[in-house]
């Protein structure tokens, strides 16, 4: 039921004025992140409905995703709600298949199922759905507004449709422009800062990791993260997602070791109603949830061989077929796989498919264990302590030199998580705001290193901790650090080089 009637709006000029104002705001103020939110705010104001939602339709897969909704007091402006596929919800399906607006002025006793709308104490009474079209006249979205009162927005359906279509066209334009800019960018030349990756560490080993992340960020390559348990594989996967072009879409993690085979299959690929006993409704898989975004397959080495074959098909064809479905559908997902296992050796033993291994290892990144990150232990410890203090609602803690000395001389094996837990415990234990060796409770080094070390080695260890600490306090400023230590700047530089202290991110301020 397209709205061809002449307008019956009570104040048509005021409506036209407000509409024009919103068109201008969408055109001038809207960027990729804010446009959907602005659009639903506009619809809320123009329709005077409590709820307004903007759905975006993927033309290649037919998926219908809710990209913004406005519900004052319950949801913030333009809150994206989830990445579920809504194309099969009755009212939305009606609009998509008939390519026409649907206006239900009183939902009481209606045959339409509206359970997908946010649940409210007072039920939704009226609902209007408007199809949105692109320049080629194909449906690329749906606008929905709902009210808890009996209400008709019939008279502004046409203008809402124009506004929503304009917003989606603007969005597509901005996305195209960004993709073009990303393609123009020479590979890796605009390496985001380490801070942007949310990773801590300035050792040579971590520098190499940052370099590799920067290289792969703006490519569609599949990344294989390998490293010992707790070395930060998931943190790196998040960094690749968040600093890359898919950051506005979902980042989904699935641990392949945590589920039995059948369950893992239905989680990843989804299923159709009736596919097996208990499958009472269609269920979208994680590939669908991650559509447009990134899927981290953690512990990939534990994926059963039969599923490895299915995963290979997704990687090759870009299609998934849910359990019980007669056809496959396209998905656009960046795959990152992570493992602590030696997949090469597993291939040799026949427990991992060779073809999948090569497909996943298109761009491998080996994460260094903590023992190879010279100088990072203290940086990580300070950061973890600060976060723990904040989480506990305490003032930031200070570090005693003896505790720092103990930390830096302890032979941490590889696990950053272990260091994090140790520091969090120390923060909780220290009552006077200063972390002491007793709070760390580190076991004596194996082989009693300290006793075996020469006096010179032990002094160097203490000096190292002292210099790093002082540099940190002076935020990397070597002139100020030298002044505080009462030595010439040249002497400081010499000692830093001799003790191989990385300056890394802590840049000089002057």
Ligand X SMILES: Nc1ncnc2c1ncn2[C@@H]1O[C@H](COP(=O)(O)OP(=O)(O)OP(=O)(O)O)[C@@H](O)[C@H]1O
Q: Which residue, 131 or 375, is less far from ligand X as judged by CB? A: 375
What's the CA gap between 265 and 256, in Å, rounded? 10
Q: Is 417 in the site for ligand X (CB under 6 A)?
A: yes
CA dist 24 to 14, 44, 78, 167, 273, Å? 15, 17, 18, 11, 45
- Report, in Å, the least distance between residue 365 CB and ligand X: 12
Residue nearest to ligand X (CB): 232
- The smaller minimum CB distance to ligand X, of residues 230 and 502, is found at 230
298 binds ligand X (CB under 6 A): yes
Work out whether 141 is an interface residue with ligand X (CB under 6 A): no
Residues 57-116 that bind ligand X (CB under 6 A): none
Nearest one of 290, 315, 52 to 163, comparing CA atoms: 52
Quick check: 332 binds ligand X (CB under 6 A)?
no
Q: Closest approach of Cβ 380 to ligand X, in Å?
A: 6
Q: Considering CB under 6 A, how many residues would be counted as binding ligand X?
A: 16
Q: Which of 272, 340, 359, 472 binds ligand X (CB under 6 A)?
A: 340
* Minimum CB distance to ligand X, residue 345 (Å): 17
Binding of ligand X by 323 (CB under 6 A) = no
Q: How far apart (Å, rounded) are the C-alpha atoms in residues 362 and 221?
A: 6
The three-state secondary structure class of 189 is: coil
Element (H, E) at 365: strand 363-366
Q: Does 416 contact ligand X by CB under 6 A?
A: yes
502 near ligand X (CB under 6 A):
no
Q: What is the dihedral of CA 115, 121, 127, 129, to 10 degrees?
A: -60
Residues in region 460-499 near ligand X by CB under 6 A: none
Number of Cβ within a 10 Å radius of residue 259: 16
Rounded to whole angstroms, the Cα distance separating 89 from 113 reads 8
**Using the rule CB under 6 A, is 368 a contact of ligand X?**
no
420 binds ligand X (CB under 6 A): yes
What distance in Å separates the CA atoms of residue 15 and residue 166, rounded to the nearest whole number? 17
Q: How far apart are CA 139 and CA 56, in angstroms?
A: 9
Q: How far is the CB of 224 from ligand X (least distance, A)?
A: 13
What minimum distance in Å lies between the beta carbon of 476 and ligand X? 18
Which CB sits closer to ligand X, 71 or 385? 385
Angle at 365 between CA 363 and CA 370, to 5 degrees: 180
Q: Least distance to ligand X from the beta carbon of 390, Å?
A: 14
Provide the minimum distance between the beta carbon of 371 and ligand X in the complex, in angstroms, as a whole number: 13
Is the dihedral angle over the CA atoms 121, 126, 132, 138 positive or is it negative?
positive
**x-or-dash pattern for ligand X, window 424-463, by CB under 6 A?**
----------------------------------------
Among 324, 416, 335, 329, CA closest to 379: 416
Kindly state the tokens that stand for 22.
């919103």
Helix (H) or strand (E) holding 163: helix 157-184
> Which residues in the 184-213 window bind ligand X by CB under 6 A?
199-201
| String marking each residue 225-244 x if it binds ligand X according to CB under 6 A | --x-xxxxxxx---------
Stretch that binds ligand X, among 267-275, 317-325, 413-421, 432-440 (CB under 6 A): 413-421
Extract the tokens encoding 4: 């061809």
Q: Which is nearer to ligand X, 214 or 230 (CB)?
A: 230
User: Is residue 126 packed enough to be buried (19+ CB in 10 Å), middle (13-18) or exposed (0-12)?
Assistant: buried
Tokens found for residue 492: 């400081």
Is 419 or 435 the residue whose CB approaches ligand X more closely? Answer: 419
**Residues in the site for ligand X, rule: CB under 6 A?**
199-201, 227, 229-235, 298, 340, 416-417, 420
């Amino acid at each position: 039921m397209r709205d061809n009637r002449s307008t019956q709006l009570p104040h048509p000029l005021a409506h036209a004025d407000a509409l024009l104002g919103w068109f201008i705001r969408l055109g001038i103020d809207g960027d990729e992140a804010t446009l959907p939110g602005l659009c639903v705010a506009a619809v809320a104001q123009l329709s005077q409905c409590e709820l307004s939602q903007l759905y975006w339709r993927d033309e290649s897969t037919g998926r219908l995703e809710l990209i913004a909704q406005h519900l004052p007091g319950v949801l913030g402006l333009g809150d994206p709600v989830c990445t579920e596929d809504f194309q099969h919800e009755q009212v939305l399906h009606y609009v998509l298949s008939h390519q026409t607006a649907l206006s239900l002025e009183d939902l009481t006793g209606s045959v339409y199922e509206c359970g997908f709308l946010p649940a409210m104490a007072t039920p939704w009474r009226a609902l209007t759905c408007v199809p949105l079209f692109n320049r080629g006249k194909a449906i690329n979205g749906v606008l929905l507004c709902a009210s808890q009162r009996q209400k008709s927005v019939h008279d502004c359906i046409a203008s809402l449709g124009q506004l929503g279509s304009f917003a989606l066209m603007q969005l597509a334009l901005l996305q195209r422009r960004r993709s073009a800019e990303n393609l123009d960018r020479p590979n890796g030349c605009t390496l985001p800062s380490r801070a942007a990756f949310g990773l801590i560490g300035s050792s040579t080993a971590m520098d190499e990791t940052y370099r590799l992340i920067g290289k792969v960020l703006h490519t569609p390559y599949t990344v294989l993260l390998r490293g010992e348990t707790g070395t930060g594989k998931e943190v790196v996967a998040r960094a690749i997602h968040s600093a890359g072009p898919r950051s506005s879409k979902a980042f989904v993690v699935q641990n392949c070791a945590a589920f039995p085979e059948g369950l893992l299959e239905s989680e990843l690929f989804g299923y159709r109603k009736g596919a097996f006993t208990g499958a009472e409704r269609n269920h979208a898989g994680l590939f669908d949830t991650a559509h447009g975004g990134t899927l981290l397959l953690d512990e990939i080495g534990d994926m059963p061989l039969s599923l490895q074959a299915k995963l290979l098909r997704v990687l090759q064809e870009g299609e998934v077929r849910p359990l019980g479905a007669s056809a496959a559908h396209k998905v656009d997902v960046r795959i990152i796989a992570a493992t602590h296992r030696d997949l090469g050796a597993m291939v040799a033993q026949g427990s991992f498919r060779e073809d999948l291994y090569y497909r996943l290892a298109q761009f491998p990144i080996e994460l260094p264990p903590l023992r190879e990150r010279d100088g990072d232990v203290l940086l990580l410890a300070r950061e973890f302590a600060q976060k723990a203090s904040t989480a506990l609602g305490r003032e930031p803690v200070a570090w005693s030199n003896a505790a720092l000395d103990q930390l830096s001389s302890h032979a941490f094996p590889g696990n950053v998580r272990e260091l994090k837990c140790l520091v969090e415990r120390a923060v909780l234990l220290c009552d006077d705001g200063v972390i002491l060796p007793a709070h760390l409770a580190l076991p004596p080094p194996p082989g009693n290193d300290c006793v075996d070390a020469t006096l010179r080695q032990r002094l160097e260890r203490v000096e190292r901790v002292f210099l790093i600490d002082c540099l940190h306090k002076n935020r990397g400023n070597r002139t100020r650090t030298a002044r505080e230590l009462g030595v010439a700047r040249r002497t400081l530089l010499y000692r830093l080089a001799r003790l191989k202290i990385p300056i890394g991110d802590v840049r000089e301020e002057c």
